[in-house]
Structure 1
Amino acid sequence: MRKVTPDTISEVFMGYFSPETDPRLRAIMEGLTRHMHAFVRETGLTHDEWRKALELLGWAGRITTPERNEFVLLSDVLGISSLVDMINSSPGATSSSVLGPFHISGAPPLENGGDMKRDFEGDVVLVQGQVRDDRGAAVAGATVDIWQTAPNGLYSSQDPAQDIHSFHGVITTGADGRYAFTTVRPVSYTVPTDGPVGQLLNAAGRHPWRPSHLHFIVKAKGCRSLVTEVFPDDDPYLDQDTVFGVREDLVMRYVRQPAGSFPGGMALSGKVHGDFDRVDFDLILARSDPA
Structure 2
Amino acid sequence: MTMQNSGDSLTPEVLTGMVTQSFAGTPDDRLRKVISSLVRHLHGFVRDIEPTLVEWQEGIDFLTAVGQKCDAVRQEFVLLSDVLGISMLVETINDLDAPGATDSTVLGPFHMTESPVRRLGESIDMLGSGIPLLVTGSVRAVTGAPIPYATVDVWQCNEDGFYDVQQPDLQPAGNGRGLFTADSQGRFWFFTVTPSHYPIPTDGPVGKLLSATSRHPFRPGHIHMIAQADGFRELTTHIFVPDSPYLDSDAVFAVKKSLVGEFARATEDESARFEVEIESPVARVELVLSPESEAHPATGLGAVDR
- TM-score normalised by structure 2 residue count: 0.88
Is the CA contact 1:4–1:12 (under 8 Å) kept in the aligned structure 2?
no
Give, in whole Å, the separation in 1 of the partners of 2:278 and 2:53. Answer: 62
Give, in whole Å, the separation in 1 of the partners of 2:248 and 2:208. Answer: 23
Aligned twin of 1:285: 289
The answer to which of 41-50 and 16-25 deviates more is 16-25
Aligned twin of 1:178: 187
Q: CA deviation at 1:115?
A: 1.4
Give, in whole Å, the separation in 2 of the partners of 1:211 and 1:185. Answer: 12
Verify: 1:195 aligned to 2:199, yes or no: no
Q: CA deviation at 1:261?
A: 6.5
Give, in whole Å, the separation in 2 of the partners of 1:125 and 1:276. Answer: 8
The count of residues paired between Structure 1 and Structure 2 equals: 285
Structure 1 spans left out of the alignment, 5+ residues: none
Aligned twin of 1:211: 220
Aligned twin of 2:76: 70
With over 3 angstroms needed to count, the CA separation of the structure-2 counterparts of 1:273 and 1:20, relative to structure 1, is: closer
Aligned twin of 1:127: 135
SS in 1 for 2:282: strand
Q: 2:66 aligns with which of 57, 60, 63?
A: 60
Is the CA contact 2:73–2:113 (under 8 Å) kept in the aligned structure 1?
no
Q: 1:14 aligns with which of 16, 20, 26?
A: 20
Aligned twin of 2:57: 51
- 2:65 is aligned with what amino acid? W
- 1:145 is aligned with what amino acid? D
Give, in whole Å, the separation in 2 of the partners of 1:177 and 1:14. Answer: 49
SS in 2 for 1:82: helix
Aligned twin of 2:123: 115
Is the CA contact 1:132–1:285 (under 8 Å) kept in the aligned structure 2?
yes
Superposition RMSD on alpha carbons, in Å? 1.9
With over 3 angstroms needed to count, the CA separation of the structure-2 counterparts of 1:273 and 1:138, relative to structure 1, is: closer
Give, in whole Å, the separation in 2 of the partners of 1:119 and 1:105. Answer: 19
What's the % identity of the aligned pairs? 41
Q: CA deviation at 1:257?
A: 4.0
Q: CA deviation at 1:262?
A: 5.2
**What are the Cα deviations for residues 181-223 of structure 1, in whole angstroms up to 9, with x where unaligned?**
1110000000111110011001111000001100001110110
Give, in whole Å, the separation in 2 of the partners of 1:248 and 1:279. Answer: 16
Give, in whole Å, the separation in 1 of the partners of 2:160 and 2:81. Answer: 25
